[in-house]
Structure 1
Amino acid sequence: MSPLPQKIARLALGSVMVTAGVLHLTTHRQEFTAQVPEWFPLDDDLTVLGSGVVEIALGAGLAAAPKHRGLFGGLLAAFFVAIFPGNVAQYLEGNDAFGLDTDAKRLTRLFFQPLLVLWALWSGGLLRRKR
């Protein structure tokens, strides 16, 4: 069983991801579509819908399947790495979305992506202290 802070982190991240996924499919779909890089080969709307479904599945798995938290934590960390080029493209292309309406804000966001990767790995129990 994971310690309480790790469990809280796992449930919080899972909830955030499910919420983000639902927003991809509903009220924030247009803003997410604006973030899809120009060079991405798939249709923008299809990309947003697909990533929303993935976020819901990974978030729900992380939150609701504690016995498989390592699997879902690892997959979620990989997802954060996979979408990072899109975040870089948003910065380079100057796309406004979610209040990221300046280059400084878009650049600052890039530094938070590694923290999301670490959050997913830690809450999934994949980062341990060496004794």
Structure 2
Amino acid sequence: MSRTRTGFRWLLAFAYGAAGYLHLARPAPFLAITPPWVPAPDIVIAVTGIAELAGAIGLMIPATRKAAGWGLALYALCVWPANFHHALAHIAIGGETLGWGYHGPRLALQPVIIWWALWAGGVLDWPFRRDRIAYPRP
């Protein structure tokens, strides 16, 4: 199980690292989907990029892994409203409006991403933890 978790941890760290880089290097698509009630969206997008990069790095360091898992899970929860806004407001990115074939799975998988951050960070083992109760042999 540890090899599997390590592989998925690397994958999640890569995904968050790439997303963090994009938030900083090309913020326009992220600004476009930011709900109008978010104050100072340009600063928020930059801070989220930094948070994603910090979380990605934190996942790879054993001493900060659990904190990074918690942080990335909370981050994924906090950006979920932007995903809903993107879907419900029919926001075009680069001149293209994505349909529910994209938005439906994206919105439905956000809890999986939250779980993944917690699992990759070693915060929880569910559903893979085996019962550690030792039963006597007959």
How high is the TM-score relative to the length of structure 2? 0.82
The structure with the larger Rg is 2
Task: Report the counterpart of residue 79 of structure 2 in structure 1.
Answer: 83
Cα deviation 1:42-89 (Å, max 9, x = unaligned)? 1221121111111111111112x1232111111111111111111111
Contact kept? 1:15, 1:60, Cα under 8 Å: no
Task: Report the counterpart of residue 27 of structure 2 in structure 1.
Answer: 29
Pair 1:20 & 2:19 matched: yes
Structure 1 residue ranges without an equivalent (≥5): none
Task: Report the counterpart of residue 4 of structure 2 in structure 1.
Answer: 5
Correspondence for 2:115 among 112, 115, 118? 118
Superposition misfits of 4+ residues, deviation over 2 angstroms: 96-100
How has the CA–CA distance of structure 1 residues 23 and 90 changed in structure 2, closer, same or farther, with 3 Å as cutoff? same
Structure 2 residue ranges without an equivalent (≥5): 132-138
2:32 aligned partner, one-letter code: A
Q: d(CA) in 2 for partners of 1:101 and 1:48?
A: 21
Q: d(CA) in 2 for partners of 1:77 and 1:53?
A: 15
Pair 1:50 & 2:41 matched: no
Greater RCO (Cα-Cα under 8 Å, separation 6 or more): 1
How many correspondences in the alignment? 127
Q: d(CA) in 1 for partners of 2:76 and 2:109?
A: 11
Contact kept? 2:90, 2:97, Cα under 8 Å: no
Q: Secondary structure at the match of 2:123?
A: coil
How high is the TM-score relative to the length of structure 1? 0.86
